[in-house]
Amino acid sequence: MPEPALSRIDAVTGPVHVALIMDGNGRWAEGRGLPRAAGHREGVQALKRTVRGAADLGIRCLTVFGFSTENWKRPAEEVSDLMGLVRAYVGSDLDRLKREGVRIHILGRRQGLPDDIAAIVDRAEQQTAHNDRFLLQVAFNYGGRADITDAVNRLVHQARQRGEGAPDITEEDIGAALSTNRGPPVDLIIRTSGEQRLSNFLLWEAAYAEMVFQDILWPDYGPAALTEAVEEYHRRDRRFGGRAPTPQMAVS
């Protein structure tokens, strides 16, 4: 069935930056009597559809949770399959992403990655560095707590290099030191498969993001489901800790 026509998002009301926890690959495969690897492969196709749909909607930045620091605990065969998907995705889609003005930024720790995966990550970033139409951030070997810890350690190390003692670290300093510092603030976080938790994803950046949980399994995801999440976002009243004025306050 063809995807419905999409309307662009108002640049003022956004969301400009959407983050996605792509959940449900394993359950999608198990429900069809297939190995989990088949679910991961279909999940890559869902990612391709969703990146195209996000750009068409007017979203300027999409951050997706590809592989967490905790995922190393999974069976070795599944970890190997996930690494293979990185090779396949970059190998099959990098040229198209370059042509379409997509800039790729990988979040997370580079230490511990297989050498060829680290090289693929570096190549994808370097070859798309000058693109400015759309920012695709892939959280790979990423954890929100680890990213905050790394940011603070980096700030302390920089202070010591300057010959300073214990630095007076501000929220702005931490935000600038996180691996997500190239993107705009996160407006909307979506999790698929019906689960309702962040699972150590964008813990700092989620402070005032809206959250939408959808029952669809990730391999079935695409522009239509993304549009539904954005429509729910527009029904929210974002106050950032403040309060909408009452009629009496508005008059006085």
Which residues make Cβ contacts (< 8 Å) with residue 234, sequence separation at least 6?
13
Average pLDDT over residues 55-65: 93
> CB 209: neighbour CB atoms within 10 A?
21
Predicted model pTM: 0.87
Average pLDDT over residues 42-66: 93
Q: Token digits for 162?
A: 């300057």
The pLDDT of residue 12? 53
Phi-psi region of 188 (alpha: psi -120 to 50; beta: other; left: phi over 0): beta
What is the C-alpha to C-alpha distance for residues 187 and 136, in angstroms, rounded to an integer?
Answer: 15
Instruction: Report the SS3 class of residue 33.
Output: coil
What is the C-alpha to C-alpha distance for residues 21 and 49, in angstroms, rounded to an integer?
Answer: 15
Average pLDDT over residues 186-215: 97
**Residue that has been written with the tokens 């003692």 in this structure:** 165
Question: Please, how many CA atoms are within 13 Å of residue 206, restricted to the half-sphere of its CB?
Answer: 19
Q: Catalytic amino acids? A: 23, 71
What is the C-alpha to C-alpha distance for residues 165 and 4, in angstroms, rounded to an integer?
Answer: 58
| Contact predicate 206/38, CB 8 Å | no
pLDDT, tens digit, for every residue of 84-97?
Answer: 778 877 877 899 99
